[in-house]
Copies of this chain bind each other. A is one copy, B any other.
Amino acid sequence: MNKRIITLGEIMLRLSTPGHERFVNAQSYEVNYGGAEANVAVSLAYWGLSAAHVTSFPDHDIGKAAVNTLRFSGVDTSFIRYNEGRMGVYFVENGAMQRSSKIIYDRFDSAFAKVNVTDFDWEKIFEGADWFHWTGITPAVSQSAADLCKAAVQAASRLGVKISADINYRRNLWQYGKGPMDIMPELIKPSHLIIAGLTDFENCMGITETDYLQACEKAKTICPSLKYVSTTHRDSISTSENNLSGVLWNGESILESKSYEMTHIVDRIGGGDAYMAGLIYGLLNSDDQNALDFAVAASVLKHSIPGDANFVSVDEVNQLVEGKNVGKLLR
């Protein structure tokens, strides 16, 4: 398969306390590099697609380590640039039972926030591309990042590249003087697929419908090329046990997946990105119901893997969809 995907967004250094240790007691941090959009690229590259991630880093060894880690996963890093600014960091504390997991973000003034819009030639980047994916985090980071995102969306739209957007409204970002309603509607407009819950619809598109089907139909009136809207549903019994399912509106109706009981969660970070990647993969390769089922199963498997990246194969996801080999010892 030779589909090509371009993703755009910041990658941060993730520092996680080991085991179930609390921040206040941590004697070491485990190192990962992650970002919502790059996590999507990693999944798709791992599944055999051609995926390139666009971002910028500080020009030091830790920035380079992040690039190397993307390459490890098979992502094309040739469009990544270096500029002034620091490496964004987020600290993760793994909860357990009734104790929640926590994230401390330390991402302001990052190289990506100070990205040079002119460092990126979108005509070149989109050569041969089939799909462009971005999230609502990027325009929330800084004016430069919003400008870069806008240039990318416009180029993708102009060049006929399908666009997916994970709206992902983050209240703690948006600190540079603009709000989501100033920026997001224009960016979302040319989307082919969006991931959004009701809160995202309201904050980023001004859609106040409280019925999901109606909200999707309203979104369609705003985004003429919109074909799909999707979201996951998570019941959190505890940090260690969640139930997960997903829905997909395909312009006609709302399809539903089965719900999975996840009873020994290892790491839920990146679960939404695994879903996003699964949906893109599925829609490029299969019918709507299969795409949704693939996306949810991919996300479930992510919860069993330490780190942001979803190192599972297409076969493993498909077997979970079919209920095969669950809990077996594969020799």
Chain A residues packing against B (C-beta within 8 Å) = 15, 18-31, 60-62, 64-65, 68-69, 71-74, 86-87, 89, 91, 93, 95-106, 108-109, 170, 172, 236-242, 260, 262-266, 268-269, 300-301, 303-307, 311-312, 316, 320, 325-331
Contacts and interface: CB of A to CB of B under 8 A. Distances in A.
B236 A263 contact: no
Nearest to A313: B61
A60 B20 contact: no
Contacts of A108: 86, 109
B69 A71 contact: no
Contact of A264 (B28, B61, B73, B264): B264
A262 B97 contact: yes
Contacts of A72: 68-69, 71-72
Given A68-B73, A236-B328, A328-B236, A23 B62 contact: yes
Contacts of A307: 25
Contact of A266 (B74, B96, B170): B96
A19 B172 contact: no
A96 B28 contact: no
A140 to B, nearest CB: 13
A260 B238 CA distance: 11
B320 A98 contact: yes
Contacts of A305: 20, 22, 99
A19 B23 CA distance: 19
A207 to B, nearest CB: 24
A119 to B, nearest CB: 19
A102 B304 contact: no
Given A95-B304, A240-B264, A260-B98, A311 B29 contact: no
A327 B24 contact: no
B27 A31 contact: yes
Contact of A304 (B62, B87, B97, B262): B97
Contacts of A26: 31, 65
Contacts of A21: 306
A327 B236 contact: yes
A305 B263 CA distance: 19
Nearest to A73: B68
Closest 7 CB pairs of A and B: A236-B327, A240-B264, A23-B61, A99-B304, A96-B304, A72-B72, A97-B304
